[in-house]
Amino acid sequence: MSQRHVPVMLQRCLDLLAPALEGPGGTGAAGGARPVVVDCTLGLGGHSEALLTRFPAARLVALDRDREALRLSGERLAPFGDRATLVHAVYDELPDVLGRLGIPAVQGVLFDLGVSSMQLDEADRGFAYAQDAPLDMRMDQTAGVSAAEVLNTYPAGELVRILRAYGEEKQAKRIVAAIVREREKEPFTGSARLVALIRDALPQAVKRTGGNPAKRTFQALRIEVNGELTVLERAVPAAVKALAVGGRIAVLSYHSLEDRLVKQVLAEGAATTAPPGLPVVPDRYQPRLKLLTRGAELPTEEEVARNRRAAPARLRGAERIREDVR
């Protein structure tokens, strides 16, 4: 199974979280209690397995919205017994999940955003543009609207916005004009028709610039179908809030909008909120976070050569240094 998804920037993620999870209680765990680390994006459990192995004192709580990912990683993590608690949840539900488990604060949080290689490789999930499959793209196939519904029902202007914002697709207007023309003839059901349409809609010069011309549209649809940015916008602040003092967060993003959002939340936490000109800054205005990465860290060339899905990765980390003032 480890072949189905290679964990990205694994060593660096572990090193970033280590000071909070090592030792008897981890720096953030009170009175020798077991430190808790949350993997908000369990996937096939590559990062989770490494966390459990490297930090033998730690308890893992891991979330995924994809039941198939939970089933497969459940098998992989079974040897760790009750050190691992796997939960079917969208990651902005983290505060509820921790509340139900009676965990007031955690020492580590990891997000490895986006889709897993398993999701991309399973043709019938409809994420991939390389094979014909039903246009689904939901990470949780029991909830929400599919990519086909988005394509067949959204107003043209909304589709253009999505393709531009989430796919950074410069030819969004051209592609959407073709989609609207075609869906009036017959609604979209499979991915091959969409791929062919995009190929036909784009000018030759654009098609020569490398990669599959449908890639950006597929990414945009996936982000929309799963509400990825909306959920992330709630989840990262919630995760920061869940950290005990001394606790650490690491976030791997694969898209500039994700990375920008993460950067904003962490930078806000690391800034003082004091009005300018105060001679002494009272505690309640002091930063709650210390940044652990200078800008975003990138994978090494060696890693990208071994695993091309690591190429767009951007890693940011921070440490909780102060309680919220109530």
Ligand X SMILES: C[S@@+](CC[C@H](N)C(=O)[O-])C[C@H]1O[C@@H](n2cnc3c(N)ncnc32)[C@H](O)[C@@H]1O
* Residue 138 touches ligand X, criterion: CB under 6 A: no
Mark residues 221-240: x for contact with ligand X by CB under 6 A, - for none. ----------x---------
Separation CA 140–CA 138 (nearest Å)? 5
* Residue 12 touches ligand X, criterion: CB under 6 A: no
* Residue 14 touches ligand X, criterion: CB under 6 A: no
* Residue 86 touches ligand X, criterion: CB under 6 A: no
* Residue 43 touches ligand X, criterion: CB under 6 A: yes
Q: How many CB atoms lie within 10 A of CB 11?
A: 11
- Residue 321, judged by CB atoms within 10 A of its CB (0-12, 13-18, 19+), counts as middle
Separation CA 275–CA 143 (nearest Å)? 45
Q: HSE of 264 in the Cβ direction (CA atoms, 13 Å)?
A: 10
* Residue 255 touches ligand X, criterion: CB under 6 A: no
Applying CB under 6 A, which of residues 58, 60, 139, 175 lies at the interface with ligand X? 139
Applying CB under 6 A, which of residues 29, 87, 90, 176 lies at the interface with ligand X? 90
Complex with ligand X: residue 41 or 107, whichever CB lies closer: 41
Q: What is the SS3 assignment for 114-177?
A: CCCHHHHHCHHHCCCCCCCCECCCCCCCCCCCCHHHHHHHCCHHHHHHHHHHHHCCCCHHHHHH
Applying CB under 6 A, which of residues 20, 62, 109, 112 lies at the interface with ligand X? 112
Give the interface segment with ligand X, choosing from 57-65, 170-178, 271-279, 289-297 (CB under 6 A): 57-65
Separation CA 65–CA 85 (nearest Å)? 14
The footprint of ligand X on residues 62-81 (CB under 6 A) is 63-66, 69
Strand-strand pairing, 84-88 and 106-112: unpaired
Q: Phi/psi at 76 (nearest 5 deg)? A: -65, -35
* Residue 37 touches ligand X, criterion: CB under 6 A: no
CB of 91 vs ligand X, minimal distance in Å: 4
* Residue 316 touches ligand X, criterion: CB under 6 A: no
Separation CA 123–CA 143 (nearest Å)? 19
CB of 288 vs ligand X, minimal distance in Å: 24
* Residue 253 touches ligand X, criterion: CB under 6 A: no
CB of 222 vs ligand X, minimal distance in Å: 10
Applying CB under 6 A, which of residues 41, 171, 191, 219 lies at the interface with ligand X? 41
Sign of the torsion formed by the C-alpha atoms of 199, 200, 205 and 208: positive
Give the interface segment with ligand X, choosing from 109-117, 182-190, 217-225, 286-294 (CB under 6 A): 109-117
Residue 177 near residue 216 (C-beta atoms within 8 A): no
For ligand X, the binding residues (CB under 6 A) are 5, 7, 41, 43-47, 63-66, 69, 90-91, 112, 114-116, 139, 231
